[in-house]
Amino acid sequence: MRTTRLAAIAAVTAIGLAGCTSSSGGRAAEEAAKQAKAGRATTPEMTVALITHSGPGDTFWDIVRKGAEDAAQKDNVRLEYAADPDGAGQANLVQQAIDKKVDGIAVTLSKPEAMKANVEAAVKAGIPVTGLNGGLDVWKDYGLVGYFGQDEKIAGKEAGARLAEEGAKKVLCVIHEQGNVGHEARCAGVKEEVPSTEILYVTGSDMPGVQSSLTSKLQQDKDIDNILTLGGPFAMTAIKSTGDAGSKARIVTFDTSTELIQAIKDGSIAWAVDQQPYLQGYLAVDALWLQKFNGNEIGGGQPVLTGPAFIDKTNVASVEKYAKSGKR
């Protein structure tokens, strides 16, 4: 009888364990099915830190972040976003990500020397790193697994060539972030095509100061016939400055925003150089997922260029619907 009772208990226990295993497996399968139906990856969750040099109020970075968030949602990635326009501050954010032992880091390198030690420390710690937007000249040296952005010198030369073709005599190139190697490269490229180009340095975090400095410059130099800003919000401020100064200078810019797209439509901005920031954020995160779960590297050891392209009255309508959704 004792043997019979033990056998019965064992049988009941086995049935119970089988039920638990079936229930657990069923829940996991159900969750995987839900994720697949929603278009999400069924791979385990990974954590990615997106660390940029964004300053407050710069709408360009909202588009970058939107791309990164969409990739994160698709890839079952927990995205942690942080930004600091100061090189040392941004480098410290990289160190914080290392301390958290994140699974990957996507980072801008607009101030490469300030970032070098901490980015290399991340790579040494076994954390894969992708670059976006800034760092074209150094990303491979720092050990990054991919880079997504535009060649700023080429973009500047393309903008300068178009300005020259349109008859520009004197261009004012407005740099809103001193020390940003990409901004300097853009203006240098323009100057190669329009030698009379002059640079005006302003503090991008102080928009009233930007407007005041630009207005003053336009009042002093009536020969300026084109203003080139390096971000959408600064182009919108340039509209106010030309009005305040009584200047007839035409305004063109790098980068876009919903407001800027409308300004191109109504003619207050002539055109914009688009580097597809949504794509930069999306690919920088997606590449880390592909590298972790499939061993892929994008670009074959070369940077993946997302620009430049021009948006003007001839094609702005085709871009507008994407701008309204926060993607252009």
Any idea where the domains of the chain sit in the sequence?
A: 1-39, 46-150+277-297, 152-274
What is the Cα 126 distance to its own chain's centre?
23
* pLDDT for 56: 84
Rounded CA gap, 261 and 59, in Å? 13
* pLDDT for 129: 98
* pLDDT for 8: 44
pTM of the model: 0.86
The residue type of 16 is G
Q: Between 3.40.50.2300, 3.30.429.10, 1.25.10.10, 3.10.180.10, what CATH number should domain 152-274 receive? A: 3.40.50.2300
* pLDDT for 324: 87
Q: Which helix (H) or strand (E) holds 105?
A: strand 104-107
Topology alike, domains 46-150+277-297 and 152-274: yes
**pLDDT tens across the length of the chain (328 residues):** 444 444 444 444 444 444 444 455 566 556 556 666 667 899 999 999 999 999 887 889 999 999 999 999 999 999 999 999 999 999 999 999 999 999 999 999 999 999 999 999 999 999 999 999 999 999 999 999 999 999 999 999 999 999 999 999 999 999 999 999 999 999 999 999 999 999 999 999 999 999 999 999 999 999 999 999 999 999 999 999 999 999 999 999 999 988 999 999 999 999 999 999 999 999 999 999 999 999 999 999 999 999 999 999 999 999 998 988 889 8
DSSP structure string for 142-210: TT-SEEEE--HHHHHHHHHHHHHHTT-S-EEEEESSTT-HHHHHHHHHHHHHSTT-EEEE--TT-HHHH
* pLDDT for 103: 98
Q: Which helix (H) or strand (E) holds 28?
A: helix 2-37
3-state secondary structure of 318: helix
Q: Which two tokens stand for residue 328?
A: 């252009």
* pLDDT for 14: 42
Rounded CA gap, 230 and 273, in Å? 9
Q: What's the CATH number for 46-150+277-297?
A: 3.40.50.2300
* pLDDT for 158: 98
